């Protein structure tokens, strides 16, 4: 069976950089997925003392526990209740979780419902980052998602990967004539964290060996 660390290596460059840059030891993350559990497994493989809530199928949970080490598996809290991640306000209150550092939503079809169920967490600034896919061809749903987050003081950024593998965040535009794909990955960042996030991503890109960026000696002159 593939190990969790290999799952991390198989993630896209953008996903690896986001996990390494924006998730720290001891934080709480939530993954809502109708498919697999690769994202939360990768985060647990990279960080220690993480509290992770996984909303996925029992099969995905079983596979995740099989790939994770014993200590990491203990940090994975299965949330396969009837809420399916659709009422994070109640679930976090029941679990005694005051703050979610990173919320990863695996599908646009459930994103609106997940955000509605986390309205209090979002309104009080108790979720730092929200990552979700947006289908730009589904204009009404995409617009509703963006407005829901913008109204709660989040900056919305499209995650792009350049030719050399560099990740960059560009302000999300509902209408972008230069966009070459319909489904894009969007990162919502609390406004007070936007500048800090940009610096963290820049630092991580300079340290990522797979990106073949300038050496650390030349980067130090920036």
Name residue, tokens 């609106």. 112
In the chain, the DSSP E strands lie at 28-32, 51-55, 76-78, 100-105, 127-135, 154-161, 167-171, 183-190
Q: How many domains does the chain have?
A: 1
Range of the domain at 183: 4-209
Cα 25 from Cα 192, distance rounded (Å): 21
In a domain, 218, yes or no: no
Cα 141 from Cα 105, distance rounded (Å): 15
The CATH number of the domain where 44 resides is what? 3.40.50.150
Q: Transcribe 132-196 into DSSP letters.
A: EEEETTSHHHHHHHHHHHHTTTEEEEEEEE-TTS-EEEEE--SS-TT---SEEEEEEEEGGGHHH
In a domain, 133, yes or no: yes
Name every residue whose Cβ is closer than 8 Å to that of residue 171 and which is 6 or more positions away in sequence: 155, 156, 157, 158
In a domain, 19, yes or no: yes
In a domain, 200, yes or no: yes
Q: What is the pLDDT along the chain (222 residues), one digit of tens a residue?
A: 344 455 555 677 788 888 888 999 999 999 998 777 888 888 888 888 888 888 887 777 777 777 765 455 455 565 544 458 899 999 999 889 999 999 999 888 889 999 999 999 999 999 999 999 988 878 888 889 999 999 999 999 998 876 666 778 888 887 665 566 678 889 999 999 998 888 877 665 555 544 333 333 333 333
In a domain, 163, yes or no: yes
């Amino acid at each position: 069976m593939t190990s969790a660390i290999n799952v991390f290596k198989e993630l896209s460059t953008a996903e690896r950089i986001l996990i390494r840059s924006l998730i720290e030891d001891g934080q709480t993350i939530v993954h809502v997925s109708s498919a697999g559990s690769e994202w939360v497994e990768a985060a647990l493989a990279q960080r220690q003392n993480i509290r992770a809530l996984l909303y996925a199928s029992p099969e995905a949970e079983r596979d995740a526990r099989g790939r994770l080490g014993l200590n990491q598996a203990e940090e994975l809290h299965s949330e396969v209740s009837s809420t399916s991640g659709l009422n994070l306000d109640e679930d976090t209150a029941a679990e005694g979780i005051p703050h979610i550092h990173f919320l990863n939503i695996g599908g646009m079809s459930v994103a609106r419902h997940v955000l509605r169920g986390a309205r209090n967490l979002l309104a009080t600034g108790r979720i730092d980052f929200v990552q979700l896919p947006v289908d730009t061809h589904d204009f009404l749903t995409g617009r509703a998602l963006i407005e829901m987050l913008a109204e709660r003081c989040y900056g919305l950024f499209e995650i792009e990967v350049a030719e050399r593998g560099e990740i960059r965040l560009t302000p999300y535009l509902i209408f972008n004539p230069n966009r070459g794909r319909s489904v894009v990955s969007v990162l919502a960042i609390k406004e007070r964290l936007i500048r800090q996030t940009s610096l963290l991503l820049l630092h991580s890109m300079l340290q990522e060996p797979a990106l073949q960026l300038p050496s650390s000696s030349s980067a130090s002159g920036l």
